[in-house]
Amino acid sequence: MISVIGAGPAGSFYASKEKKDDVNIFEEHKEIGRPISCTGILTDSVKRVIDIDPSLIISKITQFKIVAPNGKTTYVDLDKTNMVLDRAKFDQFILQKAIDNGAKLHLDEKFLGYKKINGNYKIKTSKKEYETNMIVGADGPRSKVAQEAGIYGDRKFLRGWQARCEFPELEEGVTEIRLNLGEFSWIVPEDDKIARVGVIGVNNLKLKQDYGKILGASKILEDQSGMIPLYNRKQELRKGKEDIFLIGDAATQVKATTYGGIIYGLIAGGYLAEDKETYVKNFNKKLGKDLWISLKMREMMNVMSEEQCNEMIHIFQKKENIDVLGKHDRDFPSKFLFQLLMKEKKLWKLGFGIFKNKVFS
């Protein structure tokens, strides 16, 4: 028996691809996909991993409006639109694929811990104990599997404050990103009246004040806040040579530029199902570089002065630079960062200024 802990996108996608029989998914909540803690934005790159049923798409993003600290605005037109998903339905959609592949779902059953017995494992849930050969921790940022297996590591978290809100009028298709609230803030329209509004940063008073500012006078329909793990390059994805693995947020597989984690969790689940022996090497080789570059880009952005931030936006107001951003897939920055650096000498100067803050120490 294989025990998958967590029926989020990473766990369900893994279970939908696993070729072995007797896959059991344990989910602590009573309903799949709820409570929601996500904006649900996916880039086109997800199509390389899974076909998205059109019924899951609530709206599309055609343009980003980026507001610099000095109030100046840059518009980035996307060559390929981004999708804004119904996150609960998306989770249910992937789970159905797992069930179609033969997986068994245990709803409202929380993983509590495990013991090693004769080379196998006995897991304890809130309802029963089960003998199992393999444990897949897909149980989100505070992974109990990682904790119990002693591979939790030194993880850091951000707080994503988000609510679904009603506004008098919104510009459909245009997502607003402000760089002077939290690490950044967002207004993502579902239609011309409802948007997902949020701000992210470390959990402090200033962040709460920034959240108040971005919410403004809008009417809150649903709180969708949650924790996001910061990518940790040293995070163990497997407990030694044992059959205990981590995927998705449980493994801190989140891109620090935008804090999107869905695509990485899906890819990790796919690699693990393909071959558990090559999973760790495969993931680190193919995606470690992009996650690391994203982390370093984020660290640089976080130590930028307001002036440097304005300067960066100014650089990106040039059409040829906007075009590079609009054309490329931001999930994989290694593909376009070099191209941008070759095009725009001012980025080097800006980068060296920020280097002084020992970003790479």
Give yes or no for a contact between 135 and 148, defined as CB atoms under 8 angstroms apart: no
Give yes or no for a contact between 246 and 311, defined as CB atoms under 8 angstroms apart: no
Give yes or no for a contact between 257 and 312, defined as CB atoms under 8 angstroms apart: no
Q: Footprint of ligand FAD on residues 105-144 (CB under 6 A)?
A: 110-111, 138-140, 144
Distance (Å, whole) CA 116 – CA 240: 14
Q: Which one, 226 or 333, has the nearer CB to ligand FAD?
A: 226
Q: Which one, 4 or 347, has the nearer CB to ligand FAD?
A: 4
- Near ligand FAD by CB under 6 A, which window of 2-10, 96-104, 170-178, 301-309? 2-10
Out of 4, 16, 17, 40, the only residue in the binding site for ligand FAD (CB under 6 A) is 40
The SS3 of residue 237 is coil
- Find the shortest distance in angstroms from Cβ 90 to ligand FAD: 10
Residues pairing with 63 in the sheet: 77, 174
- Find the shortest distance in angstroms from Cβ 222 to ligand FAD: 12
**Can you say how many angstroms the Cα of residue 15 is from the centroid of all Cα atoms in its chain?**
19
- Under the criterion CB under 6 A, does residue 298 sit at the interface with ligand FAD? no
- Under the criterion CB under 6 A, does residue 184 sit at the interface with ligand FAD? no
**Amino acid, single-letter form, for residue 219:** K
Out of 182, 189, 248, 270, the only residue in the binding site for ligand FAD (CB under 6 A) is 248
Q: Read off the DSSP letter of residue 47.
A: G
Distance (Å, whole) CA 49 – CA 132: 28
Backbone angles phi, psi at 141, to 5 degrees: -55, -40
Q: Which one, 38 or 347, has the nearer CB to ligand FAD?
A: 38
The sign of the CA dihedral 79, 312, 302, 182 is negative
- Under the criterion CB under 6 A, does residue 249 sit at the interface with ligand FAD? yes
- Under the criterion CB under 6 A, does residue 11 sit at the interface with ligand FAD? yes
Q: Which one, 262 or 337, has the nearer CB to ligand FAD?
A: 262
- Find the shortest distance in angstroms from Cβ 21 to ligand FAD: 21
- Under the criterion CB under 6 A, does residue 61 sit at the interface with ligand FAD? no
Q: Which one, 18 or 28, has the nearer CB to ligand FAD?
A: 28
- Under the criterion CB under 6 A, does residue 9 sit at the interface with ligand FAD? yes
Mask 68-87, x = binds ligand FAD (CB under 6 A)? --------------------
- Near ligand FAD by CB under 6 A, which window of 201-209, 212-220, 246-254, 278-286? 246-254
- Under the criterion CB under 6 A, does residue 162 sit at the interface with ligand FAD? yes
Dmax over CA atoms of the chain, in Å, equals: 64
- Count of residues engaged in binding ligand FAD, rule: CB under 6 A: 38
Per-residue 3-state assignment (H helix, E strand, C coil) for 296-342: HHHHHHHHCCHHHHHHHHHHCCCHHHHHHHHHCCCCCHHHCHHHHHH
Distance (Å, whole) CA 267 – CA 264: 5
- Find the shortest distance in angstroms from Cβ 317 to ligand FAD: 25
Q: What is the DSSP string of 140-202?
A: -TT-HHHHHHT---S--EEEEEEEEEE-S---TTEEEEESSSSSEEEEEESSSSEEEEEEEES
- Find the shortest distance in angstroms from Cβ 20 to ligand FAD: 20
Could you list the residues that contact ligand FAD (CB under 6 A)?
A: 5-11, 26-29, 37-41, 110-111, 138-140, 144, 160, 162, 198, 225-226, 228, 248-250, 254, 259-263, 265
